[in-house]
Amino acid sequence: MEQNFVERMDKSLSELKAGIISNLIAGNEDFKNIVEGMDPKDLADVASDDIDRKMIEAIGSQELKQLKLIDSALTRIKQGRYGLCIKCGKHIPEDRLEAIPYALMCIECKTAEERRNR
């Protein structure tokens, strides 16, 4: 995976994450207090694992799920494994990552998983 592309995805993931968190802050007083208590350098530094413990009741599970995916993707960038499917290890096409920067699986594995969950 090209370094430029990964850096661009890293940036858009951080922005996406900060956006979700600031939306949650705007809509939820409890959440705001908790985030302020964490005193993050910037919103993208808020760890979704901490959110899990303290805020699961304050925020919707949909947002939490998305934040966790974003954190996983950011971790995989740090590990140098971004863009590789977590199931089969194949490269995830760049256009899929452009559309969903936090995609962790290739379309084949994702489809197979959704079929299993149904």
d(CA 47, CA 38): 10
State which residue, 58 or 109, has the beta carbon closest to Zn ion: 109
Burial class (CB in 10 A: 0-12, 13-18, 19+), 49: exposed
State which residue, 11 or 90, has the beta carbon closest to Zn ion: 90
Query: Sign of torsion, CA 100 103 109 111?
Result: negative
The distance of closest approach from Cβ of residue 84 to Zn ion in the complex, given in angstroms and rounded to an integer, is 9
Contact footprint for Zn ion (CB under 5 A): 85, 87-88, 106, 109
The distance of closest approach from Cβ of residue 115 to Zn ion in the complex, given in angstroms and rounded to an integer, is 14
The distance of closest approach from Cβ of residue 106 to Zn ion in the complex, given in angstroms and rounded to an integer, is 4
State which residue, 41 or 115, has the beta carbon closest to Zn ion: 115
The distance of closest approach from Cβ of residue 85 to Zn ion in the complex, given in angstroms and rounded to an integer, is 3
**Rg of the chain over all Cα atoms, to the nearest angstrom:** 15
State which residue, 23 or 111, has the beta carbon closest to Zn ion: 111
Burial class (CB in 10 A: 0-12, 13-18, 19+), 81: middle
